[in-house]
Amino acid sequence: MRTIDTTGCVVSSYFEVALNYVLIGLSSRSLTARWNTFPMAGAAADLNFLKEEKQRLRGVLEEKEEILRKLNLIKTLKEKGDNDQLDTLSAKWREACQQAILELHSMQPEPRPSLSTMLNSWNIDYKMIEFNDDEESFG
């Protein structure tokens, strides 16, 4: 937060206020009077806002670092030419996803919605899980 002191200088801290008074040679009495009118409530509110913003940004940074870690792992696997392992892991997770979807579908009360209706309501891409909507099956 910035303010204009009695000398017409723009300042943002007590240090700048004191420095301005020293440079222009005003008495310590006028410096004390100026300090007593410095807007502390606004500074405290700004400080609290900045602390909250810092915490929020730390959380965002941690999320982005985790995504970056995963992407670097995939990049490393691809660079090593270990695509077979990556393909195996992808197939394993796709199969687990298919099993979970079938299990959740079987838990639905009668009359059960179709698999394609259920997948559409969850915004799941058919290609990602190799779902054939014409046959209502995986594969």
Q: How do residues 75-97 score in pLDDT, each as one tens digit? A: 887 777 767 777 888 899 999 99
- DSSP letter assigned to residue 38: S
Identify the pLDDT of residue 1: 46
Please report how the helices 28-36 and 14-24 are oriented relative to each other, as an axis angle in degrees rounded to 10: 150
Residue 38 corresponds to which tokens in the numbers above? Answer: 């410095």
128 to each of 41, 46, 78, 80, how far by Cα in Å? 54, 46, 19, 24
The greatest distance separating any two alpha carbons of the chain, rounded to the nearest whole angstrom, comes to: 89
Q: Model confidence over 7-66: pLDDT tens digits?
A: 555 445 555 555 555 555 544 555 455 555 555 556 666 788 888 888 989 999 999 999
User: Cβ distance 101 to 119 under 8 Å?
Assistant: yes
Those residues whose C-beta lies under 8 Å from the C-beta of residue 85, and which sit 6 or more positions away, are 77
pTM over 0.75: no
DSSP for residue 109? P
Angle between helices 83-106 and 40-79 (to 10 degrees): 110
- The Cβ-side half-sphere exposure at 139, using a 13 Å CA radius, reads 4
Q: What gap in Å lies between CA 133 and CA 139, rounded to an integer? A: 11
Measured distance CA(130)–CA(127) in Å, rounded: 5
